[in-house]
Structure 1
């Protein structure tokens, strides 16, 4: 595992796992949210996101967390491993509410500077519908990349055990 993608619903813990794995494997970690969001939640263009990712992919090793399905194919071509945090919806909703409380009026370490933590109805609905709307498409896309080592973790306990054995 040298080129790792971590995907899953908001609130699943992608950024936390990325950081823990990066520390353990001594691999640089890149949070796509920190590149995508400019201050005050202004997004960059798809072209800018593509350019950033192409630059990251040139490194010998990397961990990239974030779904960004519009550019996932770029990452899949270069990755050797995908970790899908496929947690239940209730667990992810809990995660985004907990995160909102923990980072109230603050910017998370994995987020773009000047993007204070928020929880709006649009994001809440996105997380609530992730298993139905996004997860099946993500799985199909990942499994179509036959060279990928696919790891699906379905609970925080499985994730903890995975980290213990890496």
Structure 2
């Protein structure tokens, strides 16, 4: 099975993607890890797209891909079987984003191995590049884009699952574990 987990920043894409990959026994691929380089430098599309295509091809038996990057949609969704859209409410996602940012500032964990990228107080609370600002500015447009995708004939081959509450998310993971066991 090939699944792309999408949703606003802070919605829980990485957590759900890891759980789904574990439940299905497939590879977990994180778009941010493919994109971000040292010093918060992004990978140009002419390098990023081939990296993504290679990562998906290397795991043709199945994968769970974590991330949006709208410009990669044609690559990701060409091979995907299912899109899981975490569409939680604004305040839940804001709370989760804030909690995650504070936890990462305190822990100083490296976000993607080998990049040295870590969240800082300054970057999170005093910068236009803040992940919190990004979430605030993109939450509504992300929702509109995914609603449109659900109705787009180009994506009829995909099973699109819209999850609006953590209980639905838990039920999806449980059903895929059961599916895998059979």
Whether TM exceeds 0.5 here: the answer is yes
- Of stretches 139-148 and 14-23 in structure 1, the one that deviates more from structure 2 is 139-148
Per the alignment, residue 117 of structure 1 pairs with 119
Cα pair 1:84 1:153 within 8 Å, conserved: yes
Per the alignment, residue 179 of structure 2 pairs with none
Gaps of 5+ in 1: none
- Of stretches 49-58 and 18-27 in structure 1, the one that deviates more from structure 2 is 49-58
Rounded to whole Å, the distance in 2 between the matches of 1:19 and 1:7 is 13
Please state if 1:16 is matched with 2:15.
yes
Deviation, 1:163, is 1.3
Aligned to 1:163, the other structure's residue is in SS state: helix
Per the alignment, residue 138 of structure 1 pairs with 146
Rounded to whole Å, the distance in 2 between the matches of 1:57 and 1:142 is 23
Deviation by residue 1:23-58 (Cα, 9 ceiling, x = unmatched): 111010000001111112111001111101111232
Per the alignment, residue 3 of structure 1 pairs with 2
Per the alignment, residue 25 of structure 1 pairs with 24
Higher helix share: 2
Question: Matched residue pairs, number?
Answer: 164
Aligned to 1:150, the other structure's residue is in SS state: strand
Cα pair 1:4 1:63 within 8 Å, conserved: yes
Q: Of 135, 141, 163, which residue of structure 2 is paired with 1:153?
A: 163
Rounded to whole Å, the distance in 1 between the matches of 2:150 and 2:52 is 17
Deviation, 1:142, is 4.7
TM-score (norm. length: structure 2): 0.82
Rounded to whole Å, the distance in 2 between the matches of 1:139 and 1:57 is 25
- Of stretches 8-17 and 128-137 in structure 1, the one that deviates more from structure 2 is 128-137
What root-mean-square deviation, in Å, do the aligned CA atoms of Structure 1 and Structure 2 show?
1.8
TM-score (norm. length: structure 1): 0.90
Gaps of 5+ in 2: 177-182
Rounded to whole Å, the distance in 2 between the matches of 1:71 and 1:139 is 17
Compared with structure 1, are the counterparts of its residues 121 and 97 closer, same or farther at alpha carbon in structure 2 (3 Å cutoff)? Answer: farther
Per the alignment, residue 128 of structure 1 pairs with 136
Rounded to whole Å, the distance in 1 between the matches of 2:28 and 2:74 is 19
Rounded to whole Å, the distance in 2 between the matches of 1:101 and 1:124 is 11
